[in-house]
Amino acid sequence: MTRQIPLAEDLFTWPAEQPALIGGRSSDGQIVFPYRRYRIVGGVREELERVELPRRGNLWTFTTQRFRPPSPPYAGDDDPETFQPFAVGYIELPGAVRVEARLTEADPEKLAIGEEMELRILPFGTDDEGNQIMFYAFAPVNEGGHDDGVQ
């Protein structure tokens, strides 16, 4: 069985039945994503509280990536011939932050600003040890679920 590992440590909870992005909260209530251990608050370096962010939010804005980004730093298991366009946007997570994320729906005609979105954890590629790298994306809530068993 292939082992699934997150794209980066402390990016999201995984494996998890209800995965969540991981942010950091400072003493002034500000939340940052992705999580980092420290932040300067009022001129003082302080350790951030690790918090799980809401799984649902609203699409704040988006665009569609129609060509394979140049390498580096683009990574993935595709090449210029197999590349599939994808959408990327900002999701406003209530009471937290706006998160930049890939969207599961690439057709701009099927997306709407303000639409409710939900976190998904999806396969990205395979590392040199054969592990399946997992990344986060957001799907329209009205998408009707998913058949692949991935959260």
Q: How many residues does the chain have?
A: 151
Is 151 contained in some domain?
Answer: no
147: confidence class by pLDDT, cuts 50, 70, 90: very low
Segment 23-53, tens digit of pLDDT: 999 999 999 999 999 999 989 999 999 999 9
For residue 137, give the amino acid letter. A
Is 148 contained in some domain?
Answer: no
Whole-angstrom Cα distance, residue 135 to residue 96?
Answer: 20
Whole-angstrom Cα distance, residue 1 to residue 96?
Answer: 36
Range of the domain at 100: 4-143
Is 15 contained in some domain?
Answer: yes
Segment 87-115, tens digit of pLDDT: 999 999 999 999 999 999 999 999 999 99
Residue 106 Cα to chain centre, angstroms: 15
pLDDT score of 10: 93
For residue 86, give the amino acid letter. F
Domain count of the fold of the chain = 1
**pTM for the full predicted model:** 0.86
Tell me how many degrees the CA angle 33-98-9 measures, rounded to the nearest 5.
25
pLDDT score of 149: 43
The percent of residues in the chain predicted with pLDDT above 70, rounded, is 89
Q: Which residue has the higher pLDDT, 84 or 47?
A: 47
Residue 58 Cα to chain centre, angstroms: 14
Whether 148 shows a pLDDT value over 80: the answer reads: no
pLDDT score of 145: 44
Distances (CA, A) of 59 to 6, 91, 117, 144: 23, 5, 6, 17
Average pLDDT, the chain: 89
Is 150 contained in some domain?
Answer: no
Q: What are the backbone dihedrals phi and psi of residue 109, each rounded to the nearest 5 degrees, phi first?
A: -70, -15
Whole-angstrom Cα distance, residue 5 to residue 135?
Answer: 9
Is 149 contained in some domain?
Answer: no
CA atoms 72, 73, 77, 79: torsion sign: negative
Residue with tokens 């595709």: 78
126: confidence class by pLDDT, cuts 50, 70, 90: confident
Is 117 contained in some domain?
Answer: yes
